[in-house]
Structures are given as structure tokens and as C-alpha cells.
Amino acid sequence: MPASMGLAASTKKERLATEQDRGEPRRVQLRHESRLTAVEYVKQKAWEGASLQQCPLHPEGGCGIARHGTYVRVEPPGMEIARWYCKPGHTTFSLLPDCLAAKLSSTLAAVETVVDAVERRESSIEALAEKLRPDIGVQGAVRWVRRRVVAITLAMVALKGLQPDVLSGVGATQGEVRAALKVDAVLAAARELAGTQVAHLPPYVGFGARHRGVKTAKRRAQHQAGADPP
């Protein structure tokens, strides 16, 4: 995404604030547990099979929660997300499949590929960024790469906190966590491992806010990402 990201984010916040003033429903993201890739999910229209057994706000039932259509994601093309609406709770629930990043127009697999390239020092971050995003200029492309590295570092740190038994002594890089979990797709596995805490895990893996520890993780990630290969 280009340098106007900050502006877009603040515009979005303003829009959300306005919607809340107008009394529009609160939006909550939940997991649609699915092993499908994004391409398979679109091809099978797997959102049609997504189901919400009970209302998270009213597990005792009786609130009349009902399907509320879908919303369309820009990326990948054709992707739709199943949605429910609880009227008494004035809340919509969208079921995000495990193949998709939260709060980012991308798949988790695509984010994982970018972060891998940085962690493996395949080239300098500038060269890598130019290769991945030739359309937005070097500075914008470097920020695009770093946002991903920072977000995933934060998610890995948070995951280690949630799963000390499994991940104590493991570094907070995607590669180290992947090796420790013995999986191929570590970000989707991380989302699963987070369990109900996925609501609090930082994006793009989790559905939580992105504030905590941002500065420290950013410094660490920039230090890592900035180093040229030996």
C-alpha cells in the first residue's frame, strides 16, 4: 500500500466514529476455521458453508441472530465473507477464513512469504521491496515490507506469551516459530493455536488492536530488516 496509508487509516477511524455516532452496528470478527487456500475458498464459495452455532453475546440463545449476507473483500478477487447480525446486541459478526489476513487486504500466505524473504536475508530490504512492489517507489515499498515484518513480530511475541509451554526458548521470528510448531504455514497455525485469544492477538494473525509494544517491535524489526546480507 502507498504512503497515503496513514491518511487512509485516519479517514477510516473518522468513518467508524461517525458510524458509531449514527448508531451503526459494532463489527466483530470471528474465525471461520478452514484449511482452504484463498483460491479454493473463492472457488468453492466456502462462505456459504460458514456457520455460527450461537451468538457470542447471547450463548443462551433467544436473540434471533441471523445471517446478514456477505461483504466483499477487494483481495483476492471474488472473495466474500459471511456475516451475521444480532439485533439486540446491535453487532455484526463476520467469519474470516484462516487463509486471510485480518485488517489487511492480503492472504496470510502472502504475508508469510514476504516476512520469510526478509528473515532469510535474501537481499537488502530495499532490493526486496522494489522487487515486491515496483509500483509504489522504494520508500513506500520499504514501508510496505516493514509493516508486515513488524506486525508478524508482534504476533509472534504475543503468541509466545499465550503458549509458553510450546514456545519458551523459541525466538520471536516467524521462521523459528514455524520450526518449533513443525508446520508449513505458521501464520494460519498461529491463529489456530491462539484459540479464543485470537480476539486479542495483534493483526494480521489475530483480530485484536495493534498498539501494544509497537515501538519495541518496530525497532527490532527495522534493525533486522535493515541489515544487508553478509
Q: Is 55 in the site for Zn ion (CB under 5 A)?
A: yes
In angstroms, give the least distance from the CB of 69 to Zn ion: 17
Cell of 117: 524473504
C-alpha pair distances (Å), 166 with each of 158, 162, 173, 176, 200: 13, 9, 15, 12, 19
Residues whose CB is less than 8 angstroms from the CB of residue 149 and which lie 6 or more positions away in sequence, other chains included = 114, 115, 118, 221, 224, 225
**185 CB burial (10 A radius; 0-12, 13-18, 19+):** middle
User: Nearest approach, Cβ of 22 to Zn ion (angstroms)?
Assistant: 21
Q: Which residue number, 56 or 213, has a Cβ lying nearer to Zn ion?
A: 56
Contact letters for Zn ion, residues 12-51 (x by CB under 5 A): ----------------------------------------
Distance of CA 24 to the CA centre of its chain: 24
Our CB check for Zn ion shows the closer of 63 and 185 to be 63
At its nearest, how many Å lie between Zn ion and the CB of residue 53?
12
**Cβ 34 vs Cβ 108: under 8 Å:** no
The residue (of 49 and 88) whose beta carbon lies closer to Zn ion is 88
Indicate the residue among 58 and 68 with the shorter CB distance to Zn ion.
Answer: 58
The residues of the shown chain that bind Zn ion, judged by CB under 5 A, are 55, 57-58, 63, 65, 86, 89
